[in-house]
A and B are shown apart, each in its own frame.
Chain A
Amino acid sequence: DVKVTQSSRYLVKRTGEKVFLECVQDMDHENMFWYRQDPGLGLRLIYFSYDVKMKEKGDIPEGYSVSREKKERFSLILESASTNQTSMYLCASGTGVSNQPQHFGDGTRLSIL
């Protein structure tokens, strides 16, 4: 069965800290994605990666960066956390074929104090 694992379910950090969210997939998928989920706004794409060391900005990349050093791992980095980055973060992976679904992790609820 497909598995996308996010390293933390809940995380509390302070303003100005550098925050790392980790995601690992076991399906050998080419594509990996980071979304942010906020009530009333659905899911918004932050960054995605279509290959190792390759990345593209999504709709809301400001204040975030990503790293993909290995095919199975995709990290989201908040360079200097701010309170408006308090949110649910969801990682997903996929084959790169548009008619195939993405597979999601359980999410990390991040609070910035």
Chain B
Amino acid sequence: GNSVTQMEGPVTLSEEAFLTINCTYTATGYPSLFWYVQYPGEGLQLLLKATKADDKGSNKGFEATYRKETTSFHLEKGSVQVSDSAVYFCALAQGAQKLVFGQGTRLTINP
């Protein structure tokens, strides 16, 4: 079946550091890929998405590229801020919009 694997957290960085959160997936066909973010005390909200191979999703300085050859969708940001502290979830969707989530990565940014 479909599955998503994220790098284990928690991840702690200093402000202005470079961020990478790894995400790999297993799926048949061509799923759509998503990154969701959950700020403290809130539900999930869409951060970015990509729907076909080599697509790059971007939002709020975050980027991720759909790499079919490596079945990956790594999240990157060049310079993180304290306000980026949150839990990040990688997910894929196939058919009927059902999502399969990774386990989540808690990110803490220190000033």
- Which A residues are closer than 8 A to B by beta carbons? 4, 31, 33, 40-45, 48, 50, 58, 90, 92, 94-102, 104-107
Between A and B, 27 residue pairs with Cβ closer than 8 Å are A4-B43, A33-B98, A40-B104, A41-B103, A42-B4, A42-B89, A42-B104, A43-B89, A43-B104, A48-B98, A58-B98, A92-B44, A94-B97, A95-B97, A98-B93, A98-B94, A98-B95, A98-B97, A98-B98, A99-B32, A101-B49, A104-B43, A104-B44, A105-B43, A106-B42, A106-B43, A107-B43
Q: Count of A-B contacts with CB under 8 A?
A: 64
Contact A45 B44 (CB under 8 A): no
Complexed CA–CA distance, A43 and B41 (Å): 16
- Which B residues are closer than 8 A to A by beta carbons? 4, 6, 31-32, 34, 36, 41-46, 49, 51, 89, 93-99, 101-104
Contacts of A40 in B (CB 8 A): 103-104
Contact B96 A98 (CB under 8 A): yes
Contact A100 B43 (CB under 8 A): no
Q: Which 5 A-B pairs have the closest CB atoms?
A: A104-B43, A42-B101, A101-B46, A99-B51, A99-B32
Complexed CA–CA distance, A97 and B102 (Å): 20
Complexed CA–CA distance, A94 and B96 (Å): 9
Complexed CA–CA distance, A99 and B89 (Å): 16
Complexed CA–CA distance, A87 and B48 (Å): 27
